[in-house]
Amino acid sequence: METTNKQEEYHVPVMLQECLDGLTINPDGIYVDVTFGGGGHSREIFKQLSSKGQLIVFDQDPDARKNAWEADNFHFVASNFSFISNHLKMMGFPKVDGILADLGVSSHQFDDGNRGFSIRTNDPLDMRMNQAGDVTARTIVKDYTDRELMKIFRTYGDLQNAHKIAYTIVMARETKKIKTTGDLMDVLEACAPKYKEHKFFAQVFQALRIEVNQELDVLERFLNQTADVLAPGGKLVVMSYHSLEDRLVKNYMKRGSIEGDIKKDFYGNVLKPFTEIIRHPIVPDEEEIERNSRARSAKLRIAVRNEG
């Protein structure tokens, strides 16, 4: 297996050692990285495996496939991780010993000028993680009603002036085409709070990206499959980058329910598939944030699959 500078530049792995420690890797075990990207986390997991150990990685982005390597015990799945259970069963891995999910957008996707994830450059309004997807950010800006736009900016962007943002877009698109990230930022310039423009546009772009990729729905479907996929004692390690994701992960790990509700069986026993290894999320230290600014908002949660 080769490690190239190109792969290392694709995406700097956040809290790498913390993720590896969370998985507590058994060299002969079966592990899954559902967000392969540049392969930073995966390569380090693979290094700790014996020839009997297995690593299965998921990524729906065709660019990520270029970072894969050839090995009998390495398996690349070109798919969204919301289909994890079906793929693992078809591959003959009904139970695994650890799952890692590094949510969010890779450095490569942010920096690729054709993807439209970044507020730093004027790129096409795309934001698709899966380039085969039908819905783009431009689709949303062009076709969504003001009520639909207001909902995604308020829910996914936590923007207090969501109504004004939606109205501004709807009015602007009647007379001009909003085709690029720069076009959108020009349209919404008047909505941005003074001296907080960067944060405002980051929230706008986050809301659009979540809607384009249905990120919370995907995460929910994934989490609900992990209890069936992980063997007893197996580790679930999830790193999120905004509060909406972290809330779902926290609820599921703490109570076995996305909604945070406690479920009980017929006899009143609490149905809790996981036990948290740590009560509070791990966050990167200042040194890592200095090296990699995109680590700033990361929160890492770790849980172990209970018996039964």
- pLDDT tens profile 214-250: 999 999 999 999 999 999 999 999 999 999 999 999 9
Q: Tell me what the mean pLDDT of segment 150-177 comes to.
A: 96
Torsion of CA 198, 10, 234, 73, to 10 degrees: 170
User: Is 116's pLDDT higher than 90?
Assistant: no
Q: Tell me what the mean pLDDT of segment 24-29 comes to.
A: 98
Eight-state DSSP code of residue 306: P
pLDDT range class, residue 158, cuts 50, 70, 90:
very high
Please, where in the chain does CATH 1.10.150.170 lie?
A: 114-213
Superfamily of domain 114-213: Putative methyltransferase TM0872, insert domain (1.10.150.170)
User: Between 7 and 296, where is the model more confident?
Assistant: 296
What pLDDT is recorded for position 4? 44
Of 190, 178, 215, nearest in space to 104 by CA: 215
- Take residue 199 and report the two structure tokens written for it: 């944060």
Superfamily of domain 5-107+215-305: Vaccinia Virus protein VP39 (3.40.50.150)
pLDDT range class, residue 121, cuts 50, 70, 90:
confident
Please, where in the chain does CATH 3.40.50.150 lie?
A: 5-107+215-305
What pLDDT is recorded for position 113? 53
What pLDDT is recorded for position 8? 47
Q: Tell me what the mean pLDDT of segment 66-81 comes to.
A: 95
User: Is 194's pLDDT higher than 70?
Assistant: yes
Q: Tell me what the mean pLDDT of segment 2-19 comes to.
A: 68
Rounded Cα distance between 28 and 246, Å, is 31
SS3 per-residue string spanning 42-74: HHHHHHCCCCCCEEEEECCCHHHHCCCCCCCCE
pTM of the model: 0.89
What pLDDT is recorded for position 262? 80
